[in-house]
Chains A and B, each alone.
Chain A
Amino acid sequence: MAAYNIKMPCMGEDVYKLRIGDHVTLQDALFGIRDATQIQMFDHGRETRLDLTGHAVIHTAPNVRRVDPSNSCPAGYESVCIGTTTSMRMERFTRPLMERNGVRIIIGKGGLGPESSQAFQDLGGVYLAIIGGTAALETTWIKRILDVDMDDLNPESLWQFEIADFGPLLVAMDSHGGSLYEAVNLTARERRAAALASMGVET
């Protein structure tokens, strides 16, 4: 289990070396994306002016306050509370997000499925698990909201954050087919019969 510090954007080699169980801390840049953002991008062909090549996206829709643009709030938004949502709803967007927009890293909670795992293997990507429901802590890792696109979808806009020491995050799915979620799922399936038997239910 290794620990890595990665400056964003990153290269393929930064991602290929990561294995499930490793820890990663990200620096500099991070993009926020969510259901509505990706439905617009991939089901309705909407383009974003933001360049996601080699970048990390986090499944989020933040609490923000509108303010006059300034150096600390260049996009006219101050962060209130920024956290993470359940990733699995966005499973079918992993491949296009990587293929069309060049995204390398997806950060979320609860994990992604086999389609995403295949995309990570084919295109060189990883899923980093953040701890869901710990947004107060996560907010302290974000320095500024630098830019926002598709803001008519607010709060499900495409957000660009400036970050410092964002993590540690756990490599939960890697580019070699590894998935901590699949391993846990297998354990649960193996233990199901015993769990039911403990309550007098035969399988």
Chain B
Amino acid sequence: MNIDLETVEETAKALYIRALKVLPDDIKQGFTRLDSSETDATGKSILATMIDNIEVAEETDNLLCQDTGIPIYNVTIGCGVEVDGWGLKQAIRRGCARATREYPLRSSVVHPVTRENEHTSCGIRVPVINLDFSNVADELEIEMIPKGSGSENGSFLKMCIPADGIAGVKTFVIDRVMEAGGKVCPPTIVGVGVGGTSDLCAHLAKVAATRELGSACADPEGAKLEAELSAAVNSLGIGPQGLGGDSTAFAVHVEIAATHITMNPVAVNIQCHSARRARATITPVGVEFGF
């Protein structure tokens, strides 16, 4: 299967706008679950307004949140797919810039030193494009994540040592969730990376934070950590928007990687309640959009 780069460009544009407007079903179900279990009056009223906002965004065909985020495109190339890799990256970049100019969206991306905004949501190494490969035949999948800054600023890395044990990892997560408080727009998905190198650990935290609600870590030890940490985080009383309540996080997600005998790294990356993502699958039949 040959990939047409014009299709990729149009898809990258459509994905950015779609992700900003329609929340995935698993997140909507997450809101319903939290709303039914929340016992704090303020927390419950905040959740109700958030649910109302999801409906208003769909009714008025508007963006859920003003923050257009840092655009991230996760591309998975199936086997048998023939694509010009350089051309693919340029096509995604063009689609991202066109969504910003043509919709128009707020470009939230600036040069880190001069703070200059090109008003295209693009800049040096942005959009972030991650490439991976799968054994699915004749399929190219693009996942788009507009990562909001309020929760992205809730990112932390600690190179714990083996003597800190898993207790050091758990303590770090709890303390960072407390530090983040209401700044990261709870209820959140707390993404935790455990193991790997420092960069892999931070990347895994983002993979975990943007994973579908209801999914579990493939590793049983990771899944056990998820259950323990989810209950512990929600016992702190931080609540929706940091104004008190039971619903601090939809869930804590953990992703793990093997690490060095001298290392015990842990990273936290937080996803706000506007947990936006959109997915497109390009096959010989056409382009199918989903979450």
Contact = CB atoms under 8 A, between A and B. Distances in A.
Contacts of A170: 42, 243
Candidate in A65, A136, A172, A187 with the most chain B CB atoms within 10 angstroms: A136
A192 B238 CA distance: 11
A30 interface: no
Where chain A touches its partner, the secondary structure class is mixed
Interface string B213-229: 00000000000000011
B63 A63 contact: yes
B167 interface: yes
Given A110-B185, A111-B181, A195-B233, A135 B66 contact: yes
Given A188-B238, A191-B237, A109 B174 contact: no
A65 B104 contact: yes
Interface stretch (A8-16, A49-57, A117-125, A177-185): A177-185
A196 B63 contact: no
A184 B241 CA distance: 11
B235 A191 contact: yes
A133 B56 contact: no
A3 interface: no
A155 to B, nearest CB: 5
A201 to B, nearest CB: 4
Interface in B149-198: 149-150, 153, 167, 170-171, 174-175, 178, 181-185
B185 A183 contact: no
A85 interface: yes
B66 A129 contact: no
B242 A136 contact: no
A68 to B, nearest CB: 15
Contacts of B182: 109-111, 181, 184
Contacts of B240: 131
Contact of B241 (A80, A82, A131, A199): A131
A131 B178 contact: no
Interface string B29-64: 000000000000010001001101100110010111
B53 A137 contact: yes
Nearest to B165: A201
Interface of A: 36, 60-66, 80-86, 88-89, 109-111, 129, 131-137, 139-140, 154-155, 170, 172, 180-181, 183-185, 187-189, 191-192, 194-196, 198-202
26 contacts: A60-B66, A61-B66, A64-B106, A80-B62, A81-B63, A82-B66, A83-B65, A84-B66, A86-B185, A110-B185, A110-B242, A111-B183, A133-B148, A133-B273, A134-B53, A136-B63, A137-B49, A139-B62, A154-B119, A184-B182, A187-B236, A188-B236, A191-B236, A195-B236, A196-B174, A202-B167
